[in-house]
Amino acid sequence: MKQLFYLFLAAMIGGIAAAVTVLSIVGSPSSATPLPPPAPAASPTLVAQRNMVEELPTPLDLRPAARLAIPAVVHIKALTKDGQREVVKALFSDRETSQGLREGEGSGVIYTSNGYIVTNHHVIAGADDITVTTTDRKVYPASLVGEDPKSDLAVLRIEGNDLPYLKLADSDDVEPGTWVLAVGNPFGLTSTVTAGIISARGRSINLLADLDAIESFLQTDAAVNPGNSGGALVDADGQLVGINTAIASKTGKFQGYSFAIPSNLVQRVADDIIAYGNYRRAFLGVEISTFTNSDQQRLGLKNRTEGVVIDAIFAGGSAAAAGLKVDDLIIRIDNRTIRDLPKLTEFIGRARVGETLKLTVVRNGLELEVVVPLIK
């Protein structure tokens, strides 16, 4: 009996030992199902990249600007019986109609709610009959209020009230990189909008033949084609930055560069035409040119690289009355820097007869301020 008890006790102890052994094996880390490794901590570079993505600005929405601009841009047709009508590097179509009339197409911008419209002079030059079509397809006969070939601007008038028009931006504040929309009627496709940026300011491309023409264009890469002439260049707020006028192209079609008359000059010319029927332009009474390397050597101005040189002074003009001299280097007008000829012609062109300008010139190596009263 005692022997059986010892056998039972031994069996029980053996079972317990076996169970403990099995549990120790099953519970050991080496035999357990491996857990997935913890995710590695994000590196500082990855964290910075994620933050940059989260902080990126939302894309610029130009739809509100387009909604403002499209109704204020009109389609212009200009007819003439004169087959010799000259189109000055036109950006609009120019073709013969079935009646033998010569027809040009372009664009215009409603300037006031009571029917004044600004366009390019070359759009309507020599026209006998001008019609304007608005975006709601209403067709109006238009009369020519006045034109100025030397700035390539003209003002038309249609009978209308409460017409949509564009507010004017300050084109002096427009910088390269500013988003803009070009609105017009290229190839007869009405109310077309293209987008781009301001590429440069104060460009002269020798578009206008007159020596005293005003060329100080805004350059943009917004697509402009025949039919866009006279149309609107607007900023992201839908304000008028300029009037689309020309393209630099070997084919006659857009190749990446287009040019617009800045709104500050447009306002100056258009307001005069509306008030007086013509542009009452002030003249400095000088012959001038952009400062060059040869001027630098000739005048001994090695520390100067920019400005406009006075080459001749006309008797009885504003410059003569103010005491300006040949070889004076104009570097500022009213604290605005003058780097080259286009910007100077624009600033003078925007001034009014009777106003006074303060010119800073370099004479014999010294800076002088000269007050110039503008006379016609």
Provide the pLDDT for residue 80.
81
Q: Residues with Cβ < 8 Å from 299, sequence gap 6 or more?
A: 309, 327, 329
CB 200 within 8 A of CB 219: yes
Catalytic residues: 122, 152, 229
d(CA 185, CA 187): 6
Structure tokens at 98: 């079935």
Residue type, 212: D
Percent of residues, the chain, with pLDDT higher than 90:
65
pTM: 0.79
Q: What is the full DSSP assignment across 208-235? A: S-STT----EEEE-S---TT-TT-EEEE
Q: Whose structure tokens read 């001038």?
A: 288
User: Could you tell me if residue 191 is left (phi over 0), alpha (psi between -120 and 50 degrees) or otherwise beta?
Assistant: left
φ and ψ at residue 81, rounded to 5 degrees: -85, -10
Segment 146-196, tens digit of pLDDT: 999 999 999 999 999 999 999 999 999 999 999 999 999 988 888 899 999
| Position 311 pLDDT exceeds 90 | yes
Provide the pLDDT for residue 98.
39
Provide the pLDDT for residue 209.
74
d(CA 313, CA 367): 19
Q: Residues with Cβ < 8 Å from 84, sequence gap 6 or more?
A: none
Handedness of CA 332, 336, 337, 340 (dihedral sign): negative
Mean pLDDT, all residues of the chain: 84
Provide the pLDDT for residue 41.
58
Provide the pLDDT for residue 44.
63
Structural domains for the chain: 60-277 (2.40.10.120), 286-373 (2.30.42.10)
d(CA 214, CA 340): 13
Q: Residues 342, 348, 352, CA angle at the centre, nearest 5°?
A: 150
Q: Whose structure tokens read 């664009």?
A: 107
CB 142 within 8 A of CB 104: no
